[in-house]
Amino acid sequence: MAYQAEYIWLDGTEPTPLLRSKTKILHDEVSEPPIWGFDGSSTNQATGDKSDCVLRPVFHCHDPIRGGRNMLVMCEVLLASNMRPHATNTRAKAARIEKKYAHDDMWFGLEQEYTMLRLDGTPLGFPEGGGLPAPQGPYYCGVGSGRIMGRDIVEEHTQACIDAGLSISGTNPEVMPGQWEFQIGPLGPTAVGDQMHVARWLLHRIAEDYDVVISLAAKPEKGDWNGAGCHTNFSTVAMREGYDAIIDACEAIGANYMELVKNYGDGIEERLTGKHETAPWNKFSYGVSDRGSSIRIPWQVEKDGKGYAEDRRPNANMDPYVVAAMITETVCSAADAKADKTTKKAPAKKVAAKKK
Ligand code: ADP
Ligand code: MN
Ligand code: MN
Ligand code: MN
């Protein structure tokens, strides 16, 4: 019997890549989805004369929409000429960094916020034909008509993620009407990206059936309306075991905050204004329970003296491979440098002691 494999990849659209997908029919004798290809000249990934790009499967799971044996296949893009990563393949770097710092066992939990729009571009929570809804207040984690829009889509998407076997950890209605969140993780740097892209694809796909557009725009409505972020919770094994490592991680990110924030998604200055539960994009801060800081340490983490930290700055439209790679490199290289210093200091002390 034949079955369907939906091959999903990220294209070359700037500043924010789009998800693309197409279907390959597989037959009984094939158990693993094979390498495939596509026309890169139609996705901003190649010129017409050298249009072939390669799709290499990196993660696959049950397809909860088609059911049966059908599967979803997340792919990375390679150059046909030499099978090396395409310039748009941000996963390749994340994989390299994950391997380099495997001993730190970095985990990520991503809180994906998004806005549901009508086909004319207005948010679902805004009145049809123009005007504004009642101010923010009753919508976050609300219940009831007039406060909640699009719950059917959320229910269907959540169940689809569960059926696909993704590590979805929760959902909630957000502060702006028509805005929602789901969380993926905790998972390693590449796995969290693989699963997030599949979860985003499922959301776009399910919303098609409702004529709803899923927007990952960072600030879909100007004015007194919350933007959409992708808070990035992270921990190394040392952070999961002790509080000092959490403070060290915050300090390491603080020392590189501009470099990171530049890679946290398009339109970051519009969202990180210092209002609407954000810290200004050009100032770094961290604090316990502080939703107005760049990095929040949850109160439970302070109480337990171990756990994780939350970088609140990444936008909804961020690339999880890029963000996970940058945080891993920043936090783990600082931890290694500190460990080097202490191991180098220790023998020096011993020598001094012997001299006495
Ligand atoms: P918030 O209170 O900021 O809304 P959420 O509950 O929405 O937080 O999301 C928290 C995320 O952090 C979840 O995806 C969860 O899986 C993840 N998480 C929990 N523990 C860890 C950890 N040790 N390392 C990384 N992520 C974690
Ligand atoms: Mn959340
Ligand atoms: Mn949220
Ligand atoms: Mn959060």
pLDDT tens across 113-127, in order? 999 999 999 999 999
| CA 111 to ligand 2 centroid distance, Å | 5
Q: Is 231 in the pocket of ligand 1 (CB under 6 A)?
A: yes
Q: Is 188 in the pocket of ligand 1 (CB under 6 A)?
A: no
Q: Phi/psi of residue 331, each to 5°?
A: -70, -45
**pLDDT band of 191, cuts 50, 70, 90:** very high
User: What average pLDDT is seen over the chain?
Assistant: 95
Q: Is 170 in the pocket of ligand 1 (CB under 6 A)?
A: yes
Instruction: List, in sequence order, every residue forming a beta bridge with 22; answer none if it has no partner.
Output: 7
Q: Measured between alpha carbons, how far is 287 from 297 in angstroms, rounded to an integer?
A: 6
Instruction: List, in sequence order, every residue forming a beta bridge with 181; answer none if it has no partner.
Output: 113, 172
| Polymer length in residues for the chain | 356
Q: Measured between alpha carbons, how far is 199 from 186 in angstroms, rounded to an integer?
A: 14
> In the structure, how many helices (H) and strands (E) does the chain have?
9, 13
**pLDDT band of 137, cuts 50, 70, 90:** very high
| CA 336 to ligand 4 centroid distance, Å | 28
Name the residue among 66, 75, 73, 74 with its Cα closest to residue 3.
Answer: 66
Nearest CA to ligand 1 atom 5: 111
Q: Spelled out in words, what is the top-level CATH class assigned to the domain 96-127+134-342?
A: alpha beta
Q: Give the per-residue pLDDT at 48.
A: 87
Residue 254 has pLDDT above 80, yes or no: yes
Is it true that the peptide bond before 186 is cis, omega within 30 degrees of 0?
Answer: yes
Q: Is 111 in the pocket of ligand 1 (CB under 6 A)?
A: yes
Q: Is 57 in the pocket of ligand 1 (CB under 6 A)?
A: no
Digit-coded pLDDT (tens) for 221-238: 999 999 999 999 999 999
Name the residue among 301, 313, 174 with its Cα closest to residue 232.
Answer: 313
Q: Is 180 in the pocket of ligand 1 (CB under 6 A)?
A: no
In the chain, the amino acid numbered 298 is P
Q: Give the per-residue pLDDT at 348.
A: 53
In this structure, are residues 168 and 161 in contact, taking their beta carbons and an 8 Å threshold?
A: yes
Residue 31 has pLDDT above 80, yes or no: no
Q: Is 35 in a helix, a strand, or coil?
A: coil
| CA 186 to ligand 4 centroid distance, Å | 13
| CA 312 to ligand 1 centroid distance, Å | 12
Query: Which atom of ligand 1 lies nearest, measured to the CA of 234?
Result: 25
> Domain residue spans in the chain?
2-88, 96-127+134-342
Q: Give the per-residue pLDDT at 266.
A: 98
Among 21-25, 68-72, 351-355, where is mean pLDDT lowest? 351-355
CATH superfamily of 2-88: Glutamine synthetase, N-terminal domain (3.10.20.70)
Q: Is 157 in the pocket of ligand 1 (CB under 6 A)?
A: no
Radius of gyration of the chain (CA): 22
The predicted model gives 62-76 an average pLDDT of 97
Q: Is 229 in the pocket of ligand 1 (CB under 6 A)?
A: no
Q: Measured between alpha carbons, how far is 93 from 21 in angstroms, rounded to an integer?
A: 22
Nearest CA to ligand 1 atom 4: 111
Q: Measured between alpha carbons, how far is 146 from 144 in angstroms, rounded to an integer?
A: 6
Query: Which atom of ligand 1 lies nearest, measured to the CA of 172?
Result: 7
Q: Give the per-residue pLDDT at 50.
A: 86
Best of 233, 237, 277, 323 for a ligand 1 pocket test (most atoms within 8 Å of beta carbon): 233
Q: Is 315 in a helix, a strand, or coil?
A: strand
Nearest ligand to the CA of 174 is 3
Q: Measured between alpha carbons, how far is 41 from 330 in angstroms, rounded to an integer?
A: 35
Looking at the chain, the whole-number percentage of residues with pLDDT higher than 90 is 90
Q: Is 169 in the pocket of ligand 1 (CB under 6 A)?
A: yes
Q: Is 172 in the pocket of ligand 1 (CB under 6 A)?
A: no
